[in-house]
Homo-oligomer: A and B are copies of this chain.
Amino acid sequence: MGRWEPNSRGRLAKAAVELFAAQGFDQTTGAQIAARAGMHERSFFRLFPDKREVFFHAVETAQREAVEAIAGAPAGVAPLDAVAAALEQRCAIIQRHPGAALIRHSLVAANAELRERDLSKHAELAAGMAEALRERGAPEPVATLVADTAVAVFRIAFDRWIGDPEHQDLPRLFRDGLSELASILAPRTRG
């Protein structure tokens, strides 16, 4: 306690989600989260500005990895392919932990503040991916169109998957969504 401890943010985030799941988001205090993680309350508020941010700690980490995957894609990979590969990878990781996804999803669905922050986090993910695409040389509006659309398709795939996560394949729902969107839009280019 008080000394530097490795991965303090990760420990607090884990304790927070456990408490949110057990007793609800509104009923959980920063002091309870800190206690469960074996830390001082003031450590909590030094590391996270509010309860919403601790909830999205894991999401932020995953989103940073998705942006890094785009930056690290081989030269010559098209913007859509780089973004699709990064989000498909993210889908595969979520698919492996359906219980955690269900807990997070039900907490977000039940709390208007978490829903708003969830929208912000996905907007930040799209903005981060668009920036990574521009750094790879993608022009605008291609970078933003690709990033925003892919995140929208990812969210739609997740919302379908979470209704029955044991019997559906999230990476496949995401790929199918991109293909279906291509089919819907295609006639406009011919017309």
Contacts and interface: CB of A to CB of B under 8 A. Distances in A.
Contacts of A140: 160
Nearest to A188: B182
A176 to B, nearest CB: 8
B116 A177 contact: no
A12 to B, nearest CB: 22
Highest count of chain B CB atoms <10 Å: which of A140, A153, A180, A184: A184
A26 B118 CA distance: 24
A180 B186 CA distance: 11
Interface stretch (A17-25, A68-76, A143-151): A143-151
Given A116-B116, A117-B116, A149 B181 contact: yes
A53 to B, nearest CB: 12
Interface in A177-191: 177-186, 188-189
Oligomeric state, in copies: 2
A137 to B, nearest CB: 15
A184 B79 contact: yes
A80 B181 CA distance: 10
A182 B146 CA distance: 11
12 contacts: A116-B117, A119-B119, A119-B120, A140-B160, A141-B156, A144-B159, A145-B152, A178-B185, A179-B188, A182-B182, A182-B185, A183-B189
What are the 3 closest A-B residue pairs judged by CB atoms, nearest first?
Answer: A182-B185, A148-B152, A119-B119
